[in-house]
Structure 1
Amino acid sequence: MPCALLQPCSPWAPSAAVGSTQAASASSLLERQLDERLTEFTLPNGLRFLVFERRAAPIASFHIYADVGAFDEEDEQTGLAHLLEHMAFKGTPRIGSRDYRQEAPLLDALDETFYELQSVGSGPGAARLQQQLDTLQRQAAALSVPNAYGALLQQEGGVGLNAATSHDATKYYVSLPANKAELWFAMEADRFQQPVFRELYSEKRVVLEERRLRVDNSPLGPFSEAFALASLSNNYRRPVIGYPEDIERLGRREVQAFFRRHYGPANLTIAVAGDVRPAEIRRLAERYFGGWRSDAKPPSSCAGSSGSGVETLAAPPTPQAEWQYRAKSRAGPALMHAYYRPCIRHPDSLTLDLASDLLSGTRSSRLYRSLILNGKALTAAAYSSYPADKHPTTFSIYSIPPKGGSLDQLDALVTAEVAALAADGPSAEELQRYKKAARIELLDALGSNTALAGALATYQALSGDWRAVLTDLQRIEALQPGEVRDACQRWLRPDNCFRGYVLPM
């Protein structure tokens, strides 16, 4: 789970400027600072708070971790979690409207017209309904204040305002002058308890354009989407941004229902780091969030074990002999190896992170030395959990052959390197380099309120206890080469791999 703290989840590069004595003290330094400065509390409605007090500068970072993502969407509603993230910035009755009493009935009329248009399709009356929808959108837009939520925070000194949706979670974050903490509480309580999903139908066009740029017009986008659909049996097979036909049919009713179903206080974790007083944060939390009640369902959890000791994986039900997908793409030639592995809560998760680092983490990594330096591959990158890790997922390796190179030959070379790691495990030198790099990255994370708030909220949500950041460090320190070898033997096996062949056009 160290990737939850040390973002992004890509290989760690040790810094020669940091001595081993300084690096070795990172874990104890973190533990001491957290013990002295971190306060945690949970409101009666289940909303969790973590408050890290640091007075170095009059700034505070706020991070909301919503334990809901694209994995939680129902069939034919893909893209809903991501669309909701966009809509979360559209305001409330008080923020973003010139006159909500006039705006509200227009929004309702928009919905009625949209769903009526959906029901008739291209049949009689479609042109009239489309014209009516366009007219209502113009009327509603005249009563809204675009970007009012973000503009207000920026006007008060907010920086880094953003959000991100993944398969596993949706995160909202910003940093503000510390004396604006109450403003943040007032605005967040308002948008999570009284959201108004205005501008939905125009925002869908923004999302569809985003999809065209990121997926449809990307050289590898269509292949990646098709490969996920072929190789995965759980909801990781679907794109976070959604399928265009699903996005087209989503209306405000679906967004509101998804919000009510998943955005309850017990599904949120809020971390605050910076120049704040825990007692004041608690007072504000109780004042602004204490009265929030919700019927939201609990967040999904990892279906890690069947109870018989046999792990539930994301492999497709097809015979193993058919575990491959071939398609032409402008990104070809390229190769993908997807080894099925358990979710992040499995004990092997840390060792698979290490295996990823050993294979492609630095210029001294195995794939770099054996393939790239020798001209046998242009690229070779390992990802310990792709596309996400809250649920059973894959350990993936993406590689590109040199000009004129064979995909079958590259397949054999990559497979041989993985097999060598599984046979012998890492050397003592490789393992020590990894441990040192992890400690150094931790020291870097300590210096940023934004990164620390995000890490604490993520660890709390995924593991149920933010202290997992400390136990993970202790486990990293205790890792032995044989543990890495055994984990690789369990999961990085040729008969546990789905291959993707990106063929040139």
Structure 2
Amino acid sequence: MTTAFGGRFAQAIICHRPKVADPERKLAIPSKRSAPESRSSTFFGLQDASRQSMAARPELNRREAILATGGILAASACQPSSSEATQQEGYSKGSEDLSQSLEARVQEFTLSNGLHFIVLERSIAPIVSCHTYADVGAFDEVDGQTGSPRIGTKDYAKEAPILGALDEVFYSMKEAEASGRVALAQKLNDQMQKLEEQAAAFSIPNEFGATLSQAGAAGLNATTSHDATRYFMAMPANKLELWFALEAERFRAPVFRELYSEKRVVFEERRMRVDDSPMGKFQESFAAQAMTNNYRRPVIGYPADLALLGRREVQSFFNEHYGPQRLSIAVVGDVHVDVVQKLAEKYFGGWQSMSSLPQAGSPSDTEPLPRPEGGSRHFEQGSKAGPLLMQAYYRPSMTSKDAVLLDIICDLLSGSRTSRLYTQLVETGQAYHANAVPSYPGEKHPNALVLFGQPSSGVSLQALDKAFQKETQGLIHNGPSAKEMARIKKATKLTLVDGIRSNTNMASALCSYHVNAGSWKKLLSDLEQVDQLTAADVQEVAAATFQEDNLYTGYMLKEDPVTGKKNSTV
């Protein structure tokens, strides 16, 4: 059983259920021939988060984090410029100047309980962005277990016994179902519904979010992935203490009071995105076959696991994985580190962890690649949405010295209308679309660089498979041209314009690099690596990655809805 806790129920702490971003790394499938999509992943036909403006979303992929940081460093005296020329000039500064600029402004401290804070003062406007990064995701769930507070209740003393009775009835119902006592299970289910109604009378839905929104908070949300769970918002700087009080309350004393109703929502989301989605089924099956580590499991969980999930399991997982030593908080905006530290000690200082897990930090760089040993490395599945090709090349985690180059390789393959997959496959009529994703389905642990595409009418999956391999081999043997390298450098500079103004982006990047790379300062070395990369560097990493014995392929075959016959062409 795999709970969806890391991917779902952690977001519902103290009954707060925000608007949830896509819970999983997925691949966006555009309709017919189209321009190349951003290489960050979505699937199920939903919009890829990376196609949104960087300022509109809290999570940056590795390359965007580098770009946003470079842009902010280039701004003089924390004041962003609207001039593209200024951005490009700033980006070209030496890494030593950039390092000194950021190191002088970023302050860090750690409470005695292990909770780490990163503070970046940017006095552009009287607002502040807060980003809480929990170093726990669906990857951390165990096989077999996947998927006195005041906030959110009118009277917890009266509510608590009802919630306890709900748990007892739930577990009794599951025992009755397991033993085949159908009539008793139905009776207990009816009793559960009545108890839920009683509990609802005491609940104040979304009081956490409503309280912050009334104080001027914007962008209040949470996202989850295989790698982490994030909570974030922006609000007037003079309301920072309110955020501290509420954030500490929900982490120090959570009540999962709407777990059972939340489960029904998750079941419905799974039905729409996986069970009733042809591409969703293929993605889930492909990951289960192609990955040998915990990336093989969906963030949203499996139905059988969700059905057995109760508040005891959720509370146990929370106690183990959401202690202060597993959290990092970034505060970026019109703040001073002394104020932040005073508030942190006041509201989080007395919180003691119930977990034996160590301090949040980067994973081991000795983890093996999630590559199946022996047997076929090819998977096929029929679908009315086919055909679709996926090529998964196994790669190390984001802490690898080659991680930045793998991002650049994907930009060369599918980063624009002049990229190789677009010009050689889409424009020539071999594919409706062709794309590359540098890390799938996560990046904290060893994962896969994925190429995926939809063949044009009359083109088989086998032919598109060979065409993909021709392009990757071409990158190995010939390397990127001087024109391609110039395009990558220029794209790097231009992207700064979008990321430079966002406190939220910076808060996300600082937290992510601190946890996954060991320090936010790894941003600086990554920025320098992008600026200094050569065609020979690209060739070397491409040669090590695009090997036949490092490849797992997946064919989603076109299935006739009447006859069930499967075909590799449209």
Within the candidate set 320, 336, 347, 1:277 is matched to 336
**Alignment coverage as a number of residue pairs:** 481
Structure 2 residue 360 is matched with structure 1 residue 304: no
Relative distance call for 1:118 and 1:26 in structure 2 (3 A) is farther
- Quote how far apart the aligned CAs of 1:439 are: 3.6
Of residues 214, 239, 244 in structure 1, which corresponds to 2:273?
214
Aligned residue in 2 for 1:142: 201
Residue 351 (structure 1) aligned with residue 409 (structure 2)? no
Query: 1:309 matched to which residue of 2?
Result: none
Q: What's 1:52 paired with?
A: 120
Aligned-partner Cα distance in 1 for 2:237–2:244: 12
Q: Which amino acid aligns with 1:135?
A: K
Q: Distance in 2 between matches of 1:272 and 1:184?
A: 11
Q: Counterpart amino acid of 1:372?
A: V
Deviation of the 1:396 alpha carbon: 0.3
* Aligned counterpart, 1:393: 447
Distance change >3 Å, CA 115–CA 435, structure 1 → 2: same
The one-letter code matched in structure 1 to 2:121 is E
By how many angstroms is 1:2 displaced?
8.3
Q: Do structure 1's residue 235 and structure 2's residue 294 form an aligned pair?
A: yes
> Equivalent residue of 2:119, what SS?
strand
Deviations 1:49-86 (A, max 9, x none): 1111111111100001100000001113222xxxxxxx
Alignment of 1:40-119 (within 5 A): 40-79=108-147, 93-119=149-175
Q: Which amino acid aligns with 1:110?
A: L
2:371 pairs with 1:318: no
Matching residue of 1:263:
322
SS of the aligned residue for 1:195 comes to coil
Identity of aligned residues (%): 49
Q: Which residue of 2 aligns with 1:82?
A: none
Q: Does 1:481 align with 2:535?
A: yes
Correspondence for 2:488: 434
> Aligned pair in 2 of structure 1 residues 258, 26: CA closer, same or farther (>3 Å)?
farther
- Identify the match of residue 368 of structure 1 among 422, 425, 440: 422
Alignment partners' CA distance in 2, 1:442 and 1:236: 31
Match in the other structure for 2:104: 36
In 2: Cα distance, 1:26 partner to 1:62 partner: 30
| Residue identity in the other structure for 2:267 | L
Residue 493 of structure 1: CA displacement? 1.0
Output the CA distance in 1 between the equivalents of 2:373 and 2:311. Answer: 36
Match of 1:83 in 2: none
CA deviation profile, 1:196-229 (whole Å, cap 9, x unmatched): 1101101100111111122222231001100100
Q: How far apart are the structure 2 equivalents of 1:27 and 1:216? A: 49
Tell me the distance in 2 between the aligned counterparts of 1:190 and 1:477. 44
Q: Gaps (5+ residues) in structure 2?
A: 1-58, 68-81, 560-570
AA partner of residue 169 (structure 2): T
Deviations 1:147-183 (A, max 9, x none): 1111111111110000001000000001111011000
Judged with a 3 Å threshold, the aligned counterparts in structure 2 of structure 1 residues 248 and 7 are, in CA distance, closer, same or farther, namely farther
- Residue 155 of structure 2 aligns with an amino acid whose one-letter code is D
**Using the alignment, how far apart are the partners of 1:260 and 1:33 within structure 2?**
39
CA distance in 2, matches of 1:288, 1:73: 29
What secondary structure does 1:417 align onto?
helix
Q: Which of the numbers 160, 182, 186 marks the counterpart of 1:127? A: 186
How far, CA to CA, are the matches of 1:93 and 1:5 in structure 2? 40
Q: Alignment partner of 1:338: what SS?
A: strand
Is 1:180 aligned to 2:239, yes or no?
yes
Shift of 1:21: 3.1
Aligned counterpart, 1:341: 395
Tell me, yes or no, if the aligned pair for 1:304 and 1:343 is still in contact at 8 Å.
Answer: yes
| Matches of 2:98 and 2:159, distance apart in 1 | 50
Cα RMSD between the aligned structures?
A: 2.2
Work out the CA distance in 1 between the residues paired with 2:97 and 2:273.
41
User: CA offset at residue 32 of structure 1?
Assistant: 4.9
Give the superposition deviation at 1:438.
Answer: 2.4
Q: Is the 2:137–2:225 contact (alpha carbons within 8 Å) kept by the matching residues of 1?
A: yes
CA–CA separation in structure 1 for the residues paired with 2:119 and 2:361: 25
Aligned AA (1:93)? P
For 1:168, which of 208, 212, 227 is the aligned residue? Answer: 227
Name the residue aligned to 1:459.
513
Shift of 1:330: 2.2
- Structure 2 distance, partners of 1:128, 1:433, is 66
Q: Deviations over 1:364-394 (max 9, x none)?
A: 1111110111111111000011111111100
Q: Deviations over 1:307-366 (max 9, x none)?
A: xxxxx11012333xx101101112201100001111111111111111110000011111
Equivalent pair of 2:390/2:450 in contact (CA under 8 Å)? yes
Match among 64, 72, 78 for residue 6 of structure 1: 64
Matched to 2:62, the amino acid is A
How far is the alpha carbon of 1:291 from its aligned partner?
1.0
Residue aligned with 2:449, SS: strand
State the partner residue of 2:499.
445
> TM-score scaled to structure 2, two decimals?
0.81
Query: C-alpha displacement at 1:459, in angstroms?
Result: 0.8
